[in-house]
Chains A and B, each alone.
Chain A
């Protein structure tokens, strides 16, 4: 399809766009824009202050939750004692390792299912 334009419509569009006198309009825009940036800055500061206050309240529980999660995720699946052997095995021999493995397997399965359905 070409992009030929109707000459009559083109002419109408051109004639319907006169140069508009904008003194009042410009004054309005400038008046509205005067405090817009300040208002935005004050708004951002207010949001930041609220976030800091909320963080102060929830920081301790969140830290505790993080500690519990870290403890749970690093828990050994099979007891191999302590020492260098447990350190080497820890990426695999832990709840986190198991979860990563599960996620990988699910993603691989999903990929296979998808590629099978496209074929």
Chain B
């Protein structure tokens, strides 16, 4: 006879969130299975390091498990989880003092990441951006969030978000110009 957990892969997410809310580990495992790839990719874009991003993603998921009871609307699970992920990433940045010099662009970072592959190049290019600018860019391009949404999530002024995204985009365009068939990329490297 099939057990209830056998049907979890077919259950809608809010239903699983409700079950996990009540302490159902099977439902939580199914949520982890569904969200792990998105979460790890998000953290990878944020930090550029596969090992560190997986560690941070695990921290996020443990936090989800511990504070799931504070989530009031199961429908908002994705946005709530993203908020937790960003909060943990910002904590990590502060702990490592990576926000210092947030207005300076790291000119040498791209040349330090001389690894082939589009994803690697993107991460290396992102590494040339200061912490907050990088996060704004990731939220805009990876998560598809609007500027006001980013400002609200990061609790910073809208103007600052726009400025970070504008400067960050220009920087990425410059560093990744090889993908456009422009000659700047070789020079940037």
Contacts and interface: CB of A to CB of B under 8 A. Distances in A.
Contacts of B176: 8-9, 12
A27 B25 CA distance: 12
B36 A33 contact: no
B141 A20 contact: no
A30 B25 contact: yes
B113 interface: no
A5 B141 contact: yes
Contacts of A3: 140, 146-147
A16 B119 contact: yes
A33 B61 contact: yes
Contact of B54 (A13, A25, A32, A40): A25
Nearest to A23: B33
A18 B41 CA distance: 8
Interface centre among A10, A33, A34 (most CB of B within 10 A): A33
B141 A1 contact: no
A19 interface: yes
A29 interface: yes
Contacts of A12: 118, 122, 176, 179
A15 interface: yes
B135 to A, nearest CB: 14
A17 B142 contact: yes
Nearest to A21: B37
A37 B54 CA distance: 21
A61 interface: no
A54 interface: no
A9 B172 contact: yes
A22 interface: yes
Contacts of B62: 29, 32-33, 36
A104 B58 CA distance: 52
A37 B66 CA distance: 7
A26 B36 contact: yes
Nearest to A40: B66
A43 to B, nearest CB: 11
B142 A13 contact: yes
B141 to A, nearest CB: 4
Contacts of B166: 1
